[in-house]
């Protein structure tokens, strides 16, 4: 499945500590998200799903994620049809192997493009 990953103004990746969580284009939006550090050598920190505004705020305040802020922590999100969420999360967790790993859902994977593909 091909999805569109959101970027910030200027067509650049959003920094988790700088993105405007209550921006009108984000409010109410639900989707999957990827949080990573490193422009060239990416290290994925977290993969998840939820209301993007809430997820930005929650992850911004997470001490484990904050520990990487000095390296620059980036975030992007994509809207996913609700029936595909678990399969997409399973795929992203297995493919990206985030440092802060969620439990696998043991569901059929649905492959999507990654933000930087």
Write out pLDDT tens, residues 19-67.
989 888 888 999 999 999 987 789 999 999 999 999 999 999 999 999 9
Tell me the C-alpha to C-alpha distance, in Å, between residue 48 and each of 17, 43, 60.
Answer: 17, 15, 14
Q: Is the pLDDT of residue 105 over 80?
A: no
- Look at 83-87, 96-100, 103-107, 112-116 and tell me which has the smallest mean pLDDT: 103-107
Taking the C-alpha atoms of residue 17 and residue 105, their distance in angstroms, rounded to an integer, is 29
* Token pair in block for residue 44: 């994925």
Q: What is the domain partition of the chain in residue ranges?
A: 14-96
* Token pair in block for residue 71: 């390296």
Fold of the CATH domain 14-96: GIY-YIG endonuclease (3.40.1440)
* Token pair in block for residue 26: 């984000």
Q: Is the pLDDT of residue 72 over 80?
A: yes
Q: Could you count the other beta carbons within 10 Å of the beta carbon of residue 90? A: 20
pLDDT category at 78 given cuts 50, 70, 90 is: very high
Answer whether 69's CB lies under 8 Å from 36's CB.
Answer: no
pTM above 0.85, yes or no: yes
């Amino acid at each position: 499945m091909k999805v569109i990953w959101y970027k910030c103004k200027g067509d650049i990746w959003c920094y988790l500590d700088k993105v405007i969580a209550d921006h009108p284009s984000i409010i109410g939006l639900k989707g999957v998200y990827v949080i990573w550090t490193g422009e060239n050598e990416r290290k994925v920190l977290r993969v998840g799903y939820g209301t993007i505004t809430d997820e930005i705020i929650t992850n911004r305040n997470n001490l484990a994620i904050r520990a990487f802020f000095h390296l620059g922590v980036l975030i992007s999100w994509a809207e996913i049809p609700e029936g595909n969420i678990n399969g997409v999360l399973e795929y992203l967790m297995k493919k990206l192997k985030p440092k802060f790993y969620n439990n696998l859902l043991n569901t059929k994977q649905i492959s999507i493009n990654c933000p930087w593909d």
